[in-house]
Amino acid sequence: MSHQRIIIDTDPGVDDAAAILLALASPELEVLGISVVGGNVPLEATVANACKIMALSNRADVPIYAGAPGPLIREQVYGKYAHIGAFSDQLVPATDIKPEAEHAVSFLIRTTRNAAEVGDPITICAIGPLTNIALALVQHPDVARGIKQIVSMGGAFTALGHRTPWAEFNIYADPHAAEIVYGSGVPLVIMPLDTTFQALLTRQHIEGIQAAAGAPGRALANLLLAFDRSDIGRFGRPGGPIHDATTIAWLLKPELFQGRKAAIGVQVTGRTAGYTYADYYGKTDRPPTSTIMHSVDEQGFIDLLFERLNVYSRSNDDLRALGG
């Protein structure tokens, strides 16, 4: 089986946890490392959460790297559940896994430059603020040659925002970084709120994950039940989105999604900082290097999530074998 080599850049996060577990349960993906950024919660907590997720998956072979603690320029903002911080031991079991000594930005630079040298660019799944990736691109622009594509959960075009009325959180948390990455020329696949709001997990789905996916399923269900994402007023039906997992799902089954090419940009200052815009008709001088997803097969996405998470009901030896 051919492998897609990926790095997951993340600020765990409940849906980040789902995305990481989905990736690690998928033999088509070779996860080279987890680069962590401050975002939903402070960096110390996002790193601790990443370590706990890795322990759940029984994949201590995948290294974790701590990166930027905050945005490039703007003042720090955190997610809705920042006051909770690191996942409690009651929700996700404690672990002695620790991050590597190397900084996440150094890891990104080293790995992508090596990928360029051997002619085998990698995919970055960006499911947090884009600070780490922007720093790598600014420090060493040749990094772009080693990136096949960036699959990013971020932005809101028709759905409007959720952290503010005009902005999705990952972009709002560091709009300057997003503008650098979006303008880098690297091919982008964007999963905005427009799409992620279409795939909702109900309580019945969560209970199914809890019953069928071993210890990771129980922990993920604990998180999903503790951090309620339902909003019938906005979504019009029960359930809540699991945003970041859509990036991994697209890598595994792109046929579940429909998208459209566009140039995109970000408002970086002022009251509407973090607002993302899409140019579908060539009205700006930016090249259309992005594919913005606008729809998802909800049932297909949920079926894929269940299929892969059920891998975690296997033995520890089977799980370790997923890493090759």
- Catalytically active residues, by annotation: 243
C-beta pairs of 232-239 under 8 Å, 24+ apart in sequence: 234/197, 235/197, 235/200, 237/200, 238/200, 238/202, 238/203, 239/200, 239/201, 239/202, 239/205
What is the rounded CA–CA span in Å between residue 193 and residue 85?
Answer: 23
79: which residues sit within 8 A by CB, 6+ positions away?
13, 39, 40, 41, 163, 169
84: which residues sit within 8 A by CB, 6+ positions away?
41, 227
Residue with tokens 């790598």: 136
Token pair, residue 303, equals 């079926």
Which of 100, 90, 89, 111 has its CA nearest to residue 60? 100
| CA end-to-end span of the chain | 11
CB 37 within 8 A of CB 131: yes
What is the rounded CA–CA span in Å between residue 278 and residue 52?
Answer: 37
